Amino acid sequence: MTDDLFSEAVRRLDRAAEYARIDSEALLRLSSPRAVLEVSIPVRMDDGSLQVFRGYRVRHDDTRGPTKGGIRFHPDVNLSEVKALAFWMTCKCAVAGIPFGGAKGGVVVDPKSLSRLELERLSRGYVQAIADFIGPETDVPAPDVYTNAMIMGWMMDEYSVIRRRRMPDVITGKPIPLGGSLGRDDATGRGAYNCIRELQRIRGWNPTDLRVAVQGFGNAGQHVARLLAEDGCRIVAISDSRGGILRENGIDIPCAIRHKNSGQSVYSEQSVCGCPVCGEADCHCDEGPLSGSTLISNEELLELDVDLLIPAAMENQITSENAPRIRAPVIVEVANGPITPDADDILSSRGTLIVPDILANAGGVTVSYFEWVQNRTGDYWSTDTVRSRLQEIMSREFHAVYDRMTEQSIDMRTAAYAHAVSRLGEAIACQGTSHYFSASPVHS
């Protein structure tokens, strides 16, 4: 992770502005976050010692509504990363057309090294430190890397204690009994799947002919792999932080998911690398999901000769160094920022179609918006309603971006950013720019 991640992210604006109607003042406002908070979080450990963790929360832009964005617990969290993620979230909400701005948060910690009680103390301590920075009408957090529904439940409860009243609308991605939304668990993966289905219709793909590789087998990666496998796609490779597996005949995704999630800890200790011959009665593989498979690295997975590559792990996985070796003709970014700008240029020059993160993984924030609406109205929706409304939004915005790409002869990422900044520019212009304030006065 470079210290210039935020600067690299903002570079996307300059190119997008060439293809969008946006005032230069609007670009200036979007080039810097609205507010940045750094906090120290003291936590009493189980052995009686005290540790102090560093945390961040960044609100990038709130022109179109309260800011929205996840909280990640990871040892590599840094301020530049959090600022970049907040910027991407601003663009993502604008692409999806939902009335939120972008925010992000994080704590520098290896959460797998904490006990459950230590994890709860850290989660509540983080909310105590940022309580005056967030709120249902100000900034609404959600889960991200190594945070989950239970952690969101702790955070919502702590905020409610501080405010002396129950406030489920302060955080999304909560457990269902605590005000979470049905359909939120698979929303990010399902949103990406909706994009792939639309691309499939445009290009006339037969799902059974598609060979797919998924880097990152967490929540989003698991669900997009599952949905594609149910359509008949052959998922030939999957990976997690420890490495991956390749099976040309296709991996039994339900079995792999069961194995990956079979650990008893808060964070799965299982790896797809150790996926055994399961012997489950409902396993559709004759000899288990790993029969005839090969262990591969995450780097090797990215370079496989497949029809569809889905990076669903972390940022900066495809760089200028390995981009020339990427063979997949289509990449769908389920992770945030998995391709660096330099790598983007290399891939685009070779004709690789990249469905960008601010479109492909917008399903998560869209259903988070649904959850926020349900919390505020008290009207809770069925799973079918959530999925139907998600599909409607993802389909509409996918075609808006794809049509802009085709009409303006630009790559899909630039088209998505142009789509986003057009909406952002319109909202900012409604408050007045130099063109408005320097105009001649209107006389009656």
Catalytic residues: 104
**Assigned token pair, 385:** 């309603």
**Conformational region of residue 97, where left means phi above 0, alpha means psi within -120 to 50, and beta covers everything else:** left
Q: Is 268 strand, coil or helix?
A: coil
For residue 88, the one-letter residue type is: W
DSSP-derived 3-state class of residue 354: strand
In DSSP terms, 213 is beta-bridged to 237, 309
341, burial (CB in 10 Å: exposed 0-12, middle 13-18, buried 19+): middle
φ/ψ region of 146 (left if φ > 0, alpha if ψ in -120 to 50, else beta) reads: left
Three-state SS for 43?
Answer: strand
Residue 366's alpha-carbon distances to 80, 225, 420, in angstroms, are 25, 20, 15
Question: Residue-wise over 137-160: b if at least 16 C-beta within 10 A, else e?
Answer: eebbbbbbbbbbbbbbbbbbbbbb
φ/ψ region of 250 (left if φ > 0, alpha if ψ in -120 to 50, else beta) reads: left
Residue 236 near residue 267 (C-beta atoms within 8 A): no
**Which residues have CB under 8 Å from 227's CB, separation 6+?**
186, 189, 190, 193
Alpha-carbon distance of 278 to 217, in angstroms, equals: 18
Contact 320, 342 (CB under 8 A): yes
> How far is 171 from 375, CA to CA, in rounded Å?
10
Give the Cα separation of 163 and 99 in Å (integer): 25
The Cα–Cα gap between 435 and 422 comes to 17
